[in-house]
Amino acid sequence: GRHNAGAARPGQLALGMVTDVGGLGDKSFNDSAYRGLVNAQNSLGANIQVLQSRSASDYQPNLTALSEKHLDMIYAIGFLMNKDLDQISKQYPQQHYAIIDAVVDDPNVVSATFKEEDGSFLAGALAALVSKSHHIAFLGGQDIPLLRKFEVGYIAGAHQIDPATKVDVKWVGSFEDVAAGQELANVLFNGGADIVYAAAGKAGIGAIDAVKTRQNAFVIGVDSDQDSMAPGKILTSMVKHVDVAVFDIAQAIQQKKALKGHLIFGLKDNGVGLTDFKYTSAVIGRSNIERVDAIRQDIISGKITPPSTPQGLVTWKPVKL
Amino acid sequence: MHGIRKVYPGVIAVDGVDLDLLPGEIHALVGENGAGKSTLANIAFGAVKPDGGTVEAAGTVGLVHQHFELVGRLRVWHNIMLGREPRKGTVVDVDRARSRVAELAERNGLAIDPDALVEELPIGVQQRVELLRELEREPSVLLLDEPTAALAPAEIATLFATVVQLAKRGTAILVVTHKLQEVIDYTTRVSVMRHGKIVARYETADTSVDEIARAMVGGELPQVAQREPTGAAPCFAARDVSAASDTTTVSGLSFEVHAGEIVGIAGVEGNGQTALADAIAGMIPYTGSIELDGDSTALRHRNNIGIVPQDRHHEGLVLNWSIVENAILGRQNLPGIRKGALTDWRAARADAAAIVERFDVRAASLDVAVKMLSGGNQQKLLVGRALIGDPRFVLAYQPTRGIDVGAAALVQSRLIEARNRGSAILLISFELDEILAIADRVLVMYRGKITGSFTGSEIDRGKIGRLMAGLS
Amino acid sequence: MKVVLRLLAGPAGALLLAFVLAAVAMLIAGVNPVDGFSALIRGSLGGRRPIAETLVQTTALLFPALGISLAFRAGLFNIGAEGQLLMGGLFAGAVGAHLAGPSWLTVAALLLLGMLGGGIWGGIAGWLRARFNASEIISTLMLNFIALSLAGYLVAGPLKSPLASGAETAPLLPNNWLPAFPTIGSLSFGDTRLTISILIAIATAIVLRFVFTRTVFGYELRAAGEAPEAARRSGINMPRMTLIALSLSGAVAGLGGAAIVTGVLHRFNTSLSPGYGYTAIAVALVGDLNPLWVCVAALGFGILEAGGLMMQADAGVPKDAIRVIEGLIILVLAARRYFATRASSAPI
Amino acid sequence: MSTGVSLMLTLAFLTLIKSVPIVYAALGGVISERAGVVNIGLEGMMTAGAFSAVVFTNLTGSPIVGLIAGIFFGAFLGFILGFAATFFKVDQIVAGVGINLVALGGAAYGLVLIFNQPGASPQVNQLAPEQLLPQITVGETALIVLGLLCAFGLNWFIYRTPWGLRVQACGENPRAVTDAGLDPLRLRLYSVIASGALAGLGGAFLSICEVNLYSDGMTAGRGFIALAAVIFGRWTPWGATGAAVFFGFFEALQYVLQGRISWLPSDAMQALPYLAALFAIAGLVGRVRAPAADGVPY
Ligand SMILES: Nc1ncnc2c1ncn2[C@@H]1O[C@H](COP(=O)(O)OP(=O)(O)OP(=O)(O)O)[C@@H](O)[C@H]1O
Ligand SMILES: Nc1ncnc2c1ncn2[C@@H]1O[C@H](COP(=O)(O)OP(=O)(O)OP(=O)(O)O)[C@@H](O)[C@H]1O
Ligand SMILES: [Mg+2]
Ligand SMILES: [Mg+2]
Residue C3 banded pLDDT, cuts 50, 70, 90: low
Mean pLDDT lowest for which of A37-46, B70-79, D106-115, D281-290? D281-290
Q: What is the pLDDT of residue D89?
A: 84
Q: For residue C129, what pLDDT is reported?
A: 93
Q: Closest to C230 (Cβ–Cβ): which among B316, B337, B342?
A: B316
Residue D58 alpha carbon to ligand 3 centre in Å:
63
**Distance, CA of D233 to CA of D28 (rounded, Å):** 13
Whether chain C lies against chain A with 3 or more Cβ pairs closer than 8 A is yes
Pairs of residues, one from chain A and one from chain C, whose beta carbons lie less than 8 Å apart: 99
pLDDT digits (tens, 9 = 90+) for C311-340: 888 888 888 888 888 888 888 877 766 665
- Cβ contact D215–A180 (<8 Å): no
Ligand 1, atom nearest to B40 Cα: 18
Average pLDDT over residues C1-22: 68
Query: Going by CA atoms, what residue is nearest to atom 30 of ligand 2?
Result: B372
- Pairwise CA distance, residues B50 & B56, whole Å: 13
**Cβ of B373 less than 6 Å from ligand 1:** yes
Of the segments B12-21, B30-39, B181-190, C238-247, which one has the largest average pLDDT value?
A: C238-247
Predicted local distance difference test score (pLDDT) of residue D247: 95
Give the pLDDT confidence score for residue C4 in this predicted structure.
62
The pLDDT mean for chain C works out to 89
Q: Looking at the DSSP assignment, which residues form a beta bridge with residue C168? A: C269
pLDDT score at C236 = 94
CB contact under 8 A, A145 and C156: yes
For chain C, the C-alpha Rg in angstroms (whole number) is 21
In a domain, C293, yes or no: yes
Searching chain C, which residue's CA lies closest to the CA of residue B278? C233
Mean pLDDT of C288-297: 94
Could you tell me if C98 lies within 8 Å of chain B, comparing CB atoms?
no
Contact between A142 and C168 using a beta-carbon 8 Å cutoff: no
Selecting from B282, B320, B330 the residue whose C-beta is nearest the C-beta of C226 gives B320
Identify which of C279, C281, C278, C259 has the alpha carbon closest to the alpha carbon of residue C268: C259
Give nearest CA residue, ligand 2 atom 29: B374
Q: Residue range D196-223: average pLDDT?
A: 95
- Using an 8 Å Cβ cutoff, are C85 and C276 in contact? yes
For residue D54, is pLDDT > 90?
yes
B vs A contact (3+ beta-carbon pairs below 8 A): no
Parts of chain A with a pLDDT under 70: 1-8
Ligand 2 neighbourhood includes B319 CB (under 6 angstroms) = yes
pLDDT of C344 reads 40
Helix (H) or strand (E) holding C88, with range, is helix C81-96
Query: Is residue B31 within 6 Å of ligand 1 at its C-beta?
Result: yes
Asked if B198 contacts B19 with a C-beta cutoff of 8 angstroms, the reply is: yes
Strands (E), B122-196: 141-145, 172-176, 189-194
Helices (H), D87-204: 92-110, 138-160, 162-172, 174-179, 184-204
Question: Taking chain C, what is the end-to-end CA distance rounded to the nearest angstrom?
Answer: 10
| pLDDT (0 to 100) of residue D3 | 67
Question: Residue C53 above 80 pLDDT?
Answer: yes
Rounded to a whole number, what is the distance in Å from the CA of A291 to chain C's nearest CA? Answer: 32
Distance from C-alpha of D70 to C-alpha of D47, rounded to nearest angstrom:
9
Which range among B335-349, C5-19, C233-247, D14-28 shows the weakest confidence by mean pLDDT? C5-19
Q: Is D131 helix (H, G, I), strand (E, B) or coil?
A: strand
Burial of B340: CB neighbours in 10 Å, binned 0-12, 13-18, 19+ = exposed
Per-residue confidence (pLDDT) for residue C320, from 0 to 100 = 85
Alpha carbon of D97 to those of C24, C334, D94, D100, D104: distances in Å?
A: 20, 10, 5, 5, 11
The shortest CB-CB distance from C145 to any of D95, D265, D274 is to D274
Query: What's the pLDDT at A24?
Result: 87
Nearest CA in chain B to D163: B83
List, in sequence order, the alpha helices (H) in chain A: 29-44, 59-67, 82-91, 116-130, 145-161, 178-190, 203-212, 242-254, 281-284, 286-301, 310-315
Instruction: Give B82→chain D minimum CA distance, Å.
Output: 6
Helices (H), B328-426: 345-358, 375-387, 405-420
Distance from CA of C115 to the nearest CA of D (A): 22
Q: How far apart are CA A228 and CA A58, in angstroms?
A: 35
- Top-confidence range, A182-191, D8-17, D198-207, D257-266: D198-207
Cβ contact C214–B345 (<8 Å): yes
CA distance A210 to chain D (A): 9
Residues of A in contact with D270 (CB under 8 A): 171, 173
**C residues 101-140 lying closer than 8 A (beta carbon) to D:** 124, 128, 131-135, 137-139
Chain D residues whose CB is inside 8 A of the B70 CB are 173, 176
Cβ pair C137:D275 closer than 8 A = no
pLDDT at D285 over 60: no
pLDDT for residue D101 is more than 50? yes
Residue C347 lies in a domain: no
- Of all atoms in ligand 2, which is nearest to the CA of residue B8? 31
Say whether pLDDT at B247 is over 60. yes
Residue C348 placed within a domain: no
- Provide the residue range defining the domain that includes C7: 2-333
C231 interaction partners in chain B (CB closer than 8 Å):
318, 329
Q: Which residues in chain C are closer than 8 Å to B345, comparing Cβ atoms?
A: 214
Looking at the CA of B318, name the nearest ligand. Answer: 2
Contact D203, D47 (CB under 8 A): yes
- Condensed to tens digits (0 to 9), the pLDDT of residues B141-188 reads 999 999 888 777 777 888 888 889 889 989 999 999 999 999 999 999
Q: What is the DSSP string of B158-176?
A: HHHHHHHHHHHTT-EEEEE
Rounded CA-CA distance B323/B382 in Å is 10
pLDDT recorded at residue B430: 87
The CATH fold of domain B234-318+373-468? Rossmann fold (3.40.50)
For residue C338, tell me if it sits in a domain. no
Task: Give the CA angle between residues C83, C84, C87 to the nearest 5°.
Answer: 85
Nearest C-alpha in A relative to C52 = A61
Max intra-chain CA distance, chain B = 72
Confidence of residue C208 (pLDDT cuts 50, 70, 90): very high
Q: Is B8 near ligand 1, meaning CB less than 6 Å away? A: yes
Nearest CB partner across the interface for D181, out of B73, B83, B87: B83
| Residue C8 confidence (pLDDT) above 80 | no
Helices C291-310 and C276-286: crossing angle, nearest 10°?
Answer: 130
Closest Cα in chain B, distance from residue D230 (Å): 18
Interface membership of C190 toward A (CB under 8 Å): no
The pLDDT-based confidence of C2 (bands split at 50, 70, 90) is low
Distance (Å) from the C-alpha of residue A72 to the closest C-alpha of chain D? Answer: 26
Rounded mean pLDDT of C182-186?
88
Q: Which of B311-325, B380-394, B458-472, C97-111 has the lowest mean pLDDT?
A: B458-472
Q: Whose CA is nearest to atom 12 of ligand 1?
A: B13
The predicted pLDDT at position C336 comes to 67
B96 pLDDT band (50/70/90 cuts)? very high
- Of D91, D271, D281, nearest to C285 by CB-CB distance is D91
**Hey, what CATH topology would domain B2-217 get?**
Rossmann fold (3.40.50)
Chain D CB contacts of C278 below 8 Å: 97, 100
Q: B375 alpha carbon to ligand 3 midpoint, in Å?
A: 5
Q: Identify the CATH number of the domain in which residue C88 sits.
A: 1.10.3470
Let me know if residue C339 belongs to a domain: no
Total structural domains in chain C?
1
- Residue contact C323–D101, C-beta within 8 A: yes
Q: Is residue C341 part of a domain?
A: no
Determine the pLDDT at residue D131.
Answer: 83
What is the B47 CA–ligand 3 centroid distance (Å)? 14
Q: What's the B370 CA to ligand 2 centre distance in angstroms?
A: 10
For the CA of B35, the nearest ligand: 1
Q: What residue ranges define each of the domains in chain D, with the CATH number in brackets?
A: 3-282 (1.10.3470)
Which helix (DSSP H) or strand (DSSP E) does residue B181 occupy?
helix B180-186
- pLDDT score recorded for residue B88: 92
- In this complex, the residue of B301, B318, B332 whose CB is nearest that of residue C230 is B318
pLDDT tier at C146 (50, 70, 90 boundaries)? Answer: very high
Q: What's the CA-to-centroid distance between D2 and ligand 1, angstroms?
A: 77
Residue boundaries of the structural domains of chain B: 2-217, 234-318+373-468
Is pLDDT of C164 > 70?
no
pLDDT, chain B, mean: 91
pLDDT at C348 over 50: no
Domain B2-217 matches domain B234-318+373-468 at the CATH topology level: yes
